[in-house]
Chains A and B, each alone.
Chain A
Amino acid sequence: MSAAVGVPAATAAPAAGRRAGRTGVLGLLRATGVGGMISAVVIAVAIVLAIIGPWIAPYNPDLPNLSLAWVGPVGGHLLGFDFEGRDVLSRLLAGAQSSMIGPLAVVVGAMVLGTLIAVVSAWRRGLTDTVASSGLDILFAFPGILLAVLAAAVFGAGLTAAAVALAIAYMPYVARVLRGTALRERGQPYVAALEVQGVSGTSICLRHIVPNILPLIVAQATILFGWAMVDLAAISFLGLGVQPPAPNWGVMISENQPGILEGYPLPALAAGLCIVGVVIAFNVLGERLFERVQAAHR
């Protein structure tokens, strides 16, 4: 770094932090490019459906009618009927809720716990950091799905147990990613200046360190959502998460799986595509946000 500092030279790196007209959420989205914006739209639609899905479903998602089982698209039933004669489209719309809430709970849980551990470790350093890191390493050994299966065995099958198990499984990953950035912020002179002022550690962490690592937290949470969705769908598919006959995309794949071999793939595939579409959207947006965070810190 040059010792003479007045105005940063007009090179890309220092100016990347100052984007005229690109402030706020809209600016952030615009900066993620076409892929990012499309993903954001897909996610927005999914969120809206999760909220109003059950009300806009054209037909009753829960009423079975075996005489209509496996019937293909006809009339207002755009996606046909599932193995119990229920309208697939309606079930997808109604199922958006449980398919999105689960991952949301996982993400919130993992991010809160992970951020807490990362920031505390970074702030206190020394022994606290070492012990926390070792603890996290142990947790790393357990894949999410394994913990979810264990949880189901102990607490019974259901979305709550599965979500909690996954949050615990993801938390070390979050803590690991955030710890590095938190450590870097903690080492900055402005933090030392606040310490010298007599500001408490808690205050500094909450009001200064966390806001400065927030972009990374957001990027991380976005990517995590996609993974949580896949894992929860898998867990529901295995019968350990949301229980049938509740509408849920993962459950729908499981229920309608026999249809694939018998020549009626649409119900299962439709549910699968919903999951894949939303997961990809979250992944793409998350990675773009991640890239922006990296670029800003270069």
Chain B
Amino acid sequence: MSGQEATAPPASQQPLLSVDGLTVLLPVEGQQRAVLRDVSLQIRPGEAVGLVGESGSGKSMTARAIDRLLPAGAQVQGQICFDGADVGALSGGQLRSYRNKVAMIFQDPRAHVNPVRRIGDFMTEALRANLGVPIADARRQAVDMLTQVGIEDPERRLRQYPHELSGGMLQRVMIAAALLTGPALLLADEPTTALDVTTQAEVMAILDDLRRSHGLAMLFITHDLDLAAAICDRTVVMYAGQVVEVRRSELLHSDPLHPYTAALAAARPEIAQKASRLRAIPGRPLSAFEAPAGECAFAPRCAYAQPSCLTAVPELTELDGGVSRCGRAGELRGHLEAAHV
């Protein structure tokens, strides 16, 4: 995708992360089932990209594939390149060094932290073990990072255990911990979904702030279109294990390129007014393996579907600097506005 944003780095800059034709099958009840189909996306250094989808869209699976965290028995086709290197081929010391450069934060921080170790131990672990930083330095860096994420009295926090911190606090700690190893890319898998909305706003602000000040690239995964648009310049929309749209965030509502994006935005109720009836999408979101082969996965639920949509899986079409997997993208352009009446 070349030269679309005025604020973007030069078009010649190599993408930091490049996912190319990623297809993932998972063993379920003895069968191999597709959860991702031909997923491609790119993230440039310092760029924040949102990844939005409902259940079965494959958004979480994509992040796990990037971080080499797929469940056992997963079959992976396609390629993931980070900084020019094939991620799938990394092992041992290279893999550890990869994990220093690509940090991940999860939806439920408590499930990803050892409850019997103190915050300080947990935060300094990677620094000491992987980068050989002496403990005093590591603690100093940890304190500094905790202050950056807005936690008061950071020295005391280092001595506390995870259960002594609230969910929002712990998520801030996780962000701080992720940033300590100086990563180039941050994968955030629904980091605020389990938080109160006011806490979410705070954590999002911190994430946005720190990301910019540290020059990090980020892949922000969420089911909330507006949340992704808030801190990401570009948003990737996924459905049934495929990428269906890539678009500049500010255009998602005014000029979406795929009927699903438009329908998703229109289905949400508004805080400013009550709709006489919400524009619900009939049917339910599918996983990749549930979608019938050889046709557009969204066609059965699409208001613009035509017989031609059922004959082949649509290819990605480039339009106005974005990408759409709609066979009718060109002709539907401009008619998909999701604005509420």
Contacts and interface: CB of A to CB of B under 8 A. Distances in A.
Contacts of A6: 54-56, 284-285
Contact of A9 (B27, B60, B194, B223): B60
B61 interface: yes
Interface stretch (A11-19, A79-87, A262-270): A11-19
- Say whether chain B's binding surface is mostly helix, strand, loop, or mixed: loop
Interface string A1-33: 111111111111001001110000000000000
B43 to A, nearest CB: 23
Interface stretch (B12-20, B80-88, B286-294): B286-294
Contacts of A9: 35, 55-56, 60-61, 287
A2 B28 contact: no
A126 B145 CA distance: 45
A9 B108 CA distance: 17
Contacts of A20: 29
A2 B285 CA distance: 15
B26 interface: yes
Contacts, number: 55
Interface residues of B, number: 25
B284 A7 contact: yes
B107 interface: yes
Nearest to A19: B29
B33 interface: yes
B26 A7 contact: no
Q: Which of B55, B60, B286 has the most CB of A within 10 A?
A: B55
Interface residues of A, number: 16
A207 B212 CA distance: 57
Contacts of B108: 1
B147 interface: no
A10 B286 contact: no
B71 interface: yes
B56 A7 contact: yes
Interface of B: 26-29, 33, 35, 54-56, 60-61, 71, 107-108, 190, 193-194, 223, 284-290
7 contacts: A1-B108, A3-B193, A3-B223, A9-B56, A10-B35, A10-B56, A11-B71
Given A4-B54, A10-B289, 13 more contacts: A2-B60, A2-B190, A2-B223, A3-B223, A6-B54, A7-B56, A9-B55, A10-B35, A10-B56, A10-B288, A11-B28, A11-B71, A15-B28
